[in-house]
Structure 1
Amino acid sequence: MYVITFANPKGGSGKTTSAMLLAEQIAISGGRVAILDLDPNANILAWAQTREAEGRDVPFTVHARPQAEETVELIDSLSDEADYLIIDLEGSKDQIVTFALSRTDLCIIPLDGSPMEARQAAQAVRLVQTTANMIRAQINYALLFTRTNAAFQTTDERDVRQEMELNNIPTLPVRIAKRAPYTRIFRDGVLLSELPDIVTQEMQGKTASVSDKAMKQVTGAIENARDYAQTVIATLTKEQVT
């Protein structure tokens, strides 16, 4: 079982959305996926529980935050049911975060490309490195730019990328753009793959130009999510081989 964690001490970095997008794309591809929701807000757990209560499908299992001392045991036990375990970490330097990182194959650190977010991401990098030193094993990690402009790369993002490159901090080549369909995942309790049918129904009676624009947003979001997931898996498997 591959363990992929998402870490950033700052809220609103796109951490939970990035975890959800990856989980759905892997599940669509046929992989068995489990999510461990360690974030105190428990947005993924609430999303899954709402869908289950309404009789709607959840294509992966979602597990609630355990007691800190039970974290490693729970992670190890999930290898019987999942090929990929995705963990949404809490932001603080809690013991449970260290336990989860100790079992991590790849830690993804989302940030929006601003200098302030870069400083927060640097804290997450230090936490990963400290944990790696503690367990005397390498923990692979990479930054992921999220909530970016879909049309172009901002000056801030370019400068942060260059700074990370100078400091030998790996970044994923793909970006997750700021797109309206992503906000609907938690707002409406939907899967990204459900949105084409939903939007088609919503656009009935609308003009062709309005319908095309709405559907293009959904198509762009799905393509972005697919490219992102493929990049993560390629990075994960490459690190495992090396």
Structure 2
Amino acid sequence: MPVISIANPKGGAGKSTTALVLGTTLAAHDATVTLLDCDPNRPIAGWARGGSSTAMKVLGDVGESGIVSAIDAERAARQFVLVDLEGTASRMVSRAIMRSDLVLIPMQASAVDAAQAARAVGLVQEEEQVVGRAIPFRVLFTRTSSAIPTRNEKMIIDELREAGIPVLTTHLNERAAYKSMFTYGQTLVELDPSLVNGLPAAKENAERLSGEIIELVSTLNRKAAA
């Protein structure tokens, strides 16, 4: 089953939010999902103690020495394995990328984030040389406006595509509901719309993102099998 790592050596790029939104949305559609929280701050492990009824399994005690065996064990038992990686280039990050079927690289639409996303692409390419196979990756823009894209955003997207770096069509928009997931320890489905602004739009955004990821993984699987 697919292993999807969320990686970027820059902190604050939206890795944990991406992992949580994607994992809980997949689980809401009855997919079996394990999320490995490998961020030293363990934000998703903390979220999991909030009492959500999601069927998503969260592992927050996986260290560098156990990352490969944990990924392999969960891959054998679950439909999706998501790995929320720490914001640095480490041996754990390297090992997770090597085991991945897809690497998501979240970034905000800024020059600083673009430079760090390029570093993440470099990490993936280094691991490709080690394992002797292609490791698919996609850049995911986070915290973008759902209305009109900024000129800066358009420029960075164009530069990435000109450089041959694939970018997901769907962005993870700036939504209060995504922050509220951590605040209340709940999934988007569980959040109270009377307490959280823009919840329907956040759900729709999450559905589009998960749908694009599912289609991408299916396409990659077909290519691998051909």
Corresponding letter in the other structure for 1:42? R
CA–CA separation in structure 2 for the residues paired with 1:67 and 1:123: 23
Per-residue CA deviation, residues 74-100 of structure 1 (Å, 9 max, x unaligned), is: 111113431100000111111111111
Alignment CA distance shift 1:64-1:107 (3 Å): same
CA–CA separation in structure 1 for the residues paired with 2:212 and 2:57: 23
- Which residue does 1:7 correspond to in 2? 7
CA–CA separation in structure 1 for the residues paired with 2:66 and 2:116: 28
- Which residue does 2:29 correspond to in 1? 29
Give the gaps of 5 or more residues in structure 1. 204-213
Partner SS for 2:143: strand
Per-residue CA deviation, residues 180-230 of structure 1 (Å, 9 max, x unaligned), is: 1111011221211112xx123x59xxxxxxxxxx4xx11111000000110
Question: How large is the RMSD of aligned CA atoms in angstroms?
Answer: 1.4
CA drift of 1:66 comes to 2.4
Query: Matches of residues 1-242 of structure 1 in structure 2 within 5 Å?
Result: 1-51=1-51, 56-195=52-191, 198-200=192-194, 202=195, 214=197, 217-242=198-223
Per-residue CA deviation, residues 51-81 of structure 1 (Å, 9 max, x unaligned), is: 2xxxx41321111242322211111111343
CA–CA separation in structure 2 for the residues paired with 1:65 and 1:11: 20
Identical positions, percent: 34
Partner SS for 1:50: coil
Corresponding letter in the other structure for 1:238? T
Pick the structure with more helix per residue. Answer: 1
Give the gaps of 5 or more residues in structure 2. none
Corresponding letter in the other structure for 2:199? V
TM-score w.r.t. structure 1 length? Answer: 0.88
Runs of 4 or more consecutive aligned structure 1 residues displaced over 6 Å after TM superposition: none
CA–CA separation in structure 2 for the residues paired with 1:173 and 1:199: 27
Partner SS for 2:164: coil
